[in-house]
Amino acid sequence: MPSDATALASPWLYHCYGVWLSGDDASHIAWIKQTEAAMRPYATGRISINFVSDAGDERVRRAFGSDAYRRLVALKNRYDPLNVFRLNQNVRPSSSLEESVSAFGNG
């Protein structure tokens, strides 16, 4: 799929997550860190928005990447300039509230 076809275009997703019920914690933590380090050369630096609970603006931008984020802001400016749908990993509209109210009232 072309990278501009969706906001989350990616050939694959990897999240290193380990769970264990017994045994030496240090050895389990070590294999998780080793696995993560082995995968690091293939990483893009982006994160999946689904794995973010504290999603500040910078983390949301990183999740989508700069090109997709710009496209999402343009959509937000057009369809939700008042930022009504903000109770998630929010993409903020680029205009101020005053500009949005003025534009919404005029058009």
Query: At 102, is the pLDDT very low, low, confident or very high (cuts 50, 70, 90)?
Result: low
Rounded distance, CA 61 to CA 57, Å?
A: 6
pLDDT (tens digit, 9 = 90+) per residue, 87-101? Answer: 878 899 987 555 555
Q: 5 or 21: which carries more pLDDT confidence?
A: 21
Residue 81, pLDDT score: 92
**Average pLDDT of span 56-63:** 83
Beta strand residue intervals within 23-67, DSSP E: none
- In sequence order, which residues have a C-beta less than 8 Å from that of residue 41 and are 6 or more positions away? none
Q: Check residue 9 and give its pLDDT.
A: 62
What average pLDDT score do residues 43-51 get? Answer: 75
For the chain, give percent helix, strand, coil, nearest 5: 50, 0, 50
pLDDT value at position 33?
92
